[in-house]
A and B are shown apart, each in its own frame.
Chain A
Amino acid sequence: MDVTTLTYIFVGLSFSLYIGIAFWSKANSTNDFYVAGKGVNPIANGMATAADWMSAASFISMAGLIAFLGKDGSVYLMGWTGGYVVLALLLAPYLRKFGKFTVPDFIGERYYSKAARLVAVICLIFVSFTYVAGQMRGVGIVFSRFLEVDINIGVIIGMIIVFFYAVLGGMKGITYTQVAQYCVLIFAYLVPAIFISILITGNPVPQLGFGDTLVGTDVYLLDKLDQVTRDLGFNAYTENIKSNIDIFCITAALMFGTAGLPHVIVRFFTVPRVKDARKSAGYALIFIAILYTTAPAVAAFARVNFIESIQDTSYESSPAWFKNWENTGLIAWQDKNNDGIIQYSAGSAIEGRPQYTPERGSEGQRLLSNKSNDLNDNEVYIDRDIMVLANPEIAKLPAWVIALVAAGGLAAALSTAAGLLLVISSSISHDLLKKTFKPNISERQELFYARCAAAVAIFIAGLFGIYPPAFVAQVVAFAFGLAASTFFPALFMGIFSKRLNKEGAIAGMVSGLIFTLTYIIYFKFLYTEFNSADYWFLSISPEGIGFVGMIINFIVAISISSITNPPPKEVIEMVEVIREP
């Protein structure tokens, strides 16, 4: 059977599994819909958290990013796992003890203010929607490459599936589909990684294989990679390019952002006891680490394989995956010296993203209307997002492995999209309607509004997928900076300080949000020509600025609190209660 047929079978089977679970776990109350009845087993919740957390970005993009960034890619690995230590130790158990439905719930009650709740809802919607847009792009890529359907149809199919289990089942449906999705995605990630590790190093454990020697030689893979990358004019793979302060700030922004992401925090509201919230965070990190420790190995293998399979081969005899991805528009070849042979080296081959003309060149390649970059000899444009998806093809693995990866990518994207859509819908039906504007609605009505909000959110997310704003990929990384600079300080101080009051918390969140957002918009959208270390504040890139925003939030919150009245007695009592297990 060919790859497309197999992909249809794998994707079809996994989708029917998700829909089946949705019917089985229909939500009957708001408690079911928002927090799965608080009855989820901590290990199952750990798996669901892992699937919720590992998005299209983790599954599809991360290893590709690391493959091209080398050691600088460590920011994602440490940032997106280290955040769980912060979450497990400083937030999750206490927020579970608080025992309500949403993150704005906590902020609204701890800071005894509807305004604080509203600020939290606005931050939440902004963070979650930027994040969800990236997921829909992931769904589109997988569908268009592997199922050969139009990207838009792919997105619509994805929307219908999510609609089923998110609108029917709420958190309960999402939790149990996420458990299934975790199994699909981790299997799909590990199988090709193990195959490739054996092919390249003979070691079946990728985590060890990537520190092992190449088959039939006594040269270490990483030493070889350092040498090859240096020869082609890149920085050595295992050395940093970014400055230490920038790496420090990006890692910190990703860590505290992770701890402050509402769709992750809310997962810990679903377990029965405080004890279980702690345990659940531990299991979640194990399940996440299985992928996150494999990813850098996949990255190193992919970089070696990629270079070896195309460098100095003629286009005519280049591998099929090269042409397939060229047809999808994510690879381009500009034959600068007209010798018909692919030369790959450091530097960008062309200016901007490839713009294809309708014609084909003398070798059959798609011609480009881009200006070629004459400062280097590199002829290859490659979109980093394709490395994980193309990796099995590059390594010539069997068709069923390639099909499996497609199903895994979809599982990763859909599980995260569903989790995000749920926090968006519950913040609207619960925080905006029930707690702010329409306090008199019954539970049945609230549940109805929650379903409507979920449906609308899915529709908007789908539009993002069909008409992706050009900046989606960049914006996803910024969602973390925004979460770090708004939510983390308010949540942390809400538990660990009895003195922080509503004035301080609101001023802190607003100043963190404005500072971070302004810095990002200034460098990424308004004055992109200044977006380099020479112009950055303390040479911190927009990716890492959320950490500075977080410090500003803390300073503003503490100073404003110290000159205004302390919080009322009931709030101090509430803090004392959540500190007990």
Chain B
Amino acid sequence: MQLNKDGYWKENIKILVSLLSVWFLVSFGFGILLSDWLDQFQLGGFKLGFWFAQQGSIYIFIILIFIYIHLLNKLDKKYFGDKDSGDDN
């Protein structure tokens, strides 16, 4: 099982790193550091950088968590099968 566990953890870390890169990009990137530059583009009545800072980043945060839930459920199944895990009271 040791090998199995390591594989699970490595894949988990890979998922975390890629999702958190997007998290960083849309908030600290588009919402803060690149925000002024993005403001030259318009999204309807919003300047794009302003929209990311006050709206867009939040929508993407939600999407990220649901992608994470989906990927981890798949990963759990791959390594641990369908056992109803975690209920260890």
Contact = CB atoms under 8 A, between A and B. Distances in A.
Contacts of A189: none
A275 B51 CA distance: 33
Given A238-B47, A248-B32, A85 B54 contact: no
- Tell me what chain A mostly uses at the interface: helix, strand, loop, or mixed: helix
A67 interface: no
A222 B23 CA distance: 26
A152 interface: no
A88 interface: yes
Interface in B32-89: 32-33, 35-36, 39, 43-47, 50-51, 53-55, 57-59, 61-62, 64-66, 68-69, 72-73, 76, 80, 84-89
A74 B52 CA distance: 9
A386 to B, nearest CB: 21
Contacts of A82: 23, 27, 57, 61
Given A273-B86, A278-B68, A580-B8, A293 B16 contact: no
Contacts of B46: 211, 222
Interface string A66-80: 100001011001100
A93 B35 CA distance: 33
Contacts, number: 142
B29 to A, nearest CB: 10
Interface residues of A, number: 57
Nearest to A207: B55
B45 A275 contact: no
Given A85-B64, A240-B36, A38 B89 contact: yes
Contacts of A148: none
Residue in B8, B36, B45 with the greatest tally of chain A CB atoms within 10 Å: B45
A527 to B, nearest CB: 28
Interface in A81-128: 81-82, 84-86, 88-90, 93, 96-97, 99
B32 A81 contact: no
B5 interface: yes
B9 A275 contact: no
Interface of A: 31, 38, 66, 71, 73-74, 77-78, 81-82, 84-86, 88-90, 93, 96-97, 99, 207-208, 210-213, 220-223, 238, 240, 244, 247-248, 251-252, 255, 272-276, 278-279, 281-282, 285-286, 289, 292-293, 296, 576, 579-581
13 contacts: A71-B35, A74-B31, A78-B32, A84-B65, A88-B68, A90-B16, A222-B45, A222-B47, A222-B50, A281-B65, A289-B58, A296-B55, A581-B80
